[in-house]
């Protein structure tokens, strides 16, 4: 891809990234997977900074999936420790820069200290609106949809919701991403080309860009190139334009 120094128009309002390739990046250097995850955190910092510099307002990063519990215990522990360190080291700075932090995903099976970290991060930055950063952690889209359906059923049983009047916007209010715009662009690193149970509802009409870059090597120029690909596409949302051939 050609290098871009600034983001072309039109910009997506909401970009989501599947951060893939930390383990392979570490393996290429003869290091353990945890080494790659630490490098991946630095890439997160670069991505958040670059997104703001390029004019984006909403960024969602896929950090830990509901399926990742199948990984070795030591790797899971390392990932949770990185979350603790990231919040401790970066939260005050993000808050000062007007970044609102949201954590998407299931919480009831997380350790108490992680739940507290998540709640504190959201509470501290709730007043910010310059830039919206969502971290999908212990997240799976099917799990999110099931949890949303349960909440919706409970509201109906309590007489707070008439199912006959439910529409897509109403259902969306039960999702983890309530009040966030739909995803316009999904980027996946490391050459893999699948959705991996990520934001299936929210990305229903998103454009996808798959790149070979391993996540720890992700930077502003690569993000700008992905935005250029997005800007070059003709988004139709199921419609047909007047000049299109029949």
The pLDDT assigned to 244 comes to 62
Q: Check the annotation: does 194 bind a ligand.
A: yes
| Domain 14-229: CATH architecture, name and number where available | 3-Layer(aba) Sandwich (3.40)
Is 20 annotated for ligand binding? yes
Annotation-wise, does 190 bind a ligand?
A: no
pLDDT of residue 2: 45
Per-residue pLDDT tens digits for 91-140? 999 999 999 999 999 999 999 999 999 999 999 999 999 999 999 999 99
Is the model's pLDDT at 246 over the cut of 80? no
Break the chain down into helix, strand, coil percent, rounded to 5. Answer: 45, 15, 40
pLDDT for the residue 240: 58
Mean pLDDT of 235-243: 65
Q: What is the mean pLDDT of the chain?
A: 92
Q: Which residues are catalytic?
A: 20, 68
Residue 141, marked binder: no
Compute the average pLDDT of residues 222-236. 93
Each domain of the chain, given as residue ranges in start order, spans 14-229
pTM: 0.91
Q: Is 243 annotated as a binding residue?
A: no
Q: pLDDT tens digits, residue range 176-215?
A: 999 999 999 999 999 999 999 999 999 999 999 999 999 9
């Amino acid at each position: 891809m050609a290098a871009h120094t600034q983001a072309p128009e039109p910009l997506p309002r909401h970009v989501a990234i599947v951060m893939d390739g930390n383990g392979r990046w570490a393996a290429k250097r003869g290091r353990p997977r945890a080494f790659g995850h630490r490098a991946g955190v630095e890439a997160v910092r670069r991505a958040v900074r670059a997104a703001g510099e390029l004019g984006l307002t909403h960024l969602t990063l896929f950090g830990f999936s509901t399926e990742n519990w199948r990984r070795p215990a030591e790797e899971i522990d390392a990932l949770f420790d990185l979350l603790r360190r990231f919040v401790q080291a970066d939260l005050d700075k993000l808050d000062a820069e007007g970044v609102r932090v949201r954590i998407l995903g299931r919480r009831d099976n997380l350790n108490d200290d992680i739940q507290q970290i998540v709640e504190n991060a959201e509470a501290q930055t709730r007043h910010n609106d310059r830039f919206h950063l969502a971290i999908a952690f212990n997240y799976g889209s099917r799990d999110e949809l099931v949890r949303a359906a349960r909440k919706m059923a409970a509201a109906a049983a309590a007489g707070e919701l008439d199912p006959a009047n439910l529409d897509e916007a109403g259902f969306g209010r039960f999702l983890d991403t309530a009040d966030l715009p739909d995803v316009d662009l999904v980027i996946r690193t490391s050459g893999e080309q699948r959705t991996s149970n990520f934001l299936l509802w929210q990305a229903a009409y998103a454009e996808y860009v798959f790149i070979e870059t391993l996540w720890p090597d992700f930077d502003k120029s690569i993000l700008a190139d992905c935005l250029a690909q997005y800007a070059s596409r003709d988004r139709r949302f199921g419609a047909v334009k007047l000049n299109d051939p029949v």
